[in-house]
């Protein structure tokens, strides 16, 4: 019976560590996805001269992950009668909640686009979209190695902590 309890404790510690490690592994991927999505938005606005709701529609259809989900939600808010693209963008981002692994300062970069979208000229929007994409890409490069280290550390510490507590309880 003690062996079963010990094993369950180890398994619980490993499971908790695995879920926390997944959070750290997800952040760089999400930063890359956002960088790519904003670059695509900038290209669509600049070269195709598409209005923002059509850009969101295209990103929602062709994109993946959270940027596509936010684009889908912003488009549905727009079609639902919210005629300010910046407000639609801000609300759609605000609905991500726990689903996103972005840190608050990463989300703040995305939210800074709200007052500019649909309210400034095409060139200004493209410039800000590209600048934000570059900032997110730089953060993704910066956190890739660190995130892997943190993920490994959390996994090892959770398993070791569970083993220590289990040994104390024996």
pLDDT digits (tens, 9 = 90+) for 81-129: 877 888 889 999 998 877 888 889 999 999 999 888 888 888 999 999 9
The mean pLDDT value for 27-48 works out to 91
Q: Cα–Cα distance between 28 and 139 in angstroms, integer?
A: 8
How many CA atoms lie less than 13 Å away from 158 in the CB half-sphere?
17
How many CA atoms lie less than 13 Å away from 122 in the CB half-sphere?
11
| Residue 155 domain flag | no
| Residue 167 domain flag | no
Q: Cα–Cα distance between 110 and 37 in angstroms, integer?
A: 11
| Residue 10 domain flag | no
| Residue 119 domain flag | yes
- Tell me what pLDDT residue 25 has: 82
| Residue 12 domain flag | no
- Tell me what pLDDT residue 13 has: 78
Domain that holds residue 111: 33-143
Residue 146 has pLDDT above 90, yes or no: no
- Tell me what pLDDT residue 153 has: 83
Asked if residues 109 and 138 have their Cβ atoms less than 8 Å apart, the reply is: no
- Tell me what pLDDT residue 30 has: 93
Q: Cα–Cα distance between 70 and 149 in angstroms, integer?
A: 29
| Residue 138 domain flag | yes
The pTM of the full predicted model, rounded to 2 decimals, is: 0.79
- Tell me what pLDDT residue 7 has: 79
| Residue 11 domain flag | no
Band of pLDDT at residue 69, cut at 50, 70 and 90 = very high
The mean pLDDT value for 123-150 works out to 90
Domain count, the chain: 1
Q: Cα–Cα distance between 20 and 10 in angstroms, integer?
A: 15
| Residue 128 domain flag | yes
């Amino acid at each position: 019976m003690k062996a079963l309890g010990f094993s369950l404790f180890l398994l619980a510690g490993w499971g908790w560590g695995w879920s926390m490690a997944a959070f750290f592994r997800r952040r760089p991927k999400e930063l890359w996805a956002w960088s790519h999505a904003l670059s695509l938005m900038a290209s669509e606005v600049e070269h195709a001269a598409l209005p923002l709701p059509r850009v969101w529609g295209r990103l929602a259809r062709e994109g993946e992950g959270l940027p596509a989900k936010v684009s889908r939600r912003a488009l549905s808010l727009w079609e639902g009668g919210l005629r300010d693209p910046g407000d639609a963008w801000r609300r759609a981002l605000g609905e991500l909640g726990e689903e996103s692994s972005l840190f608050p300062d990463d989300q703040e970069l995305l939210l800074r686009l709200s007052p500019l979208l649909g309210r400034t000229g095409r060139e200004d929007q493209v410039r800000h979209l590209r600048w934000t994409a570059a900032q997110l890409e730089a953060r993704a490069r910066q956190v890739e190695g660190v995130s892997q280290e943190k993920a490994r550390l959390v996994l090892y510490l959770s398993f070791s902590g569970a083993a220590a507590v289990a040994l104390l309880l024996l």
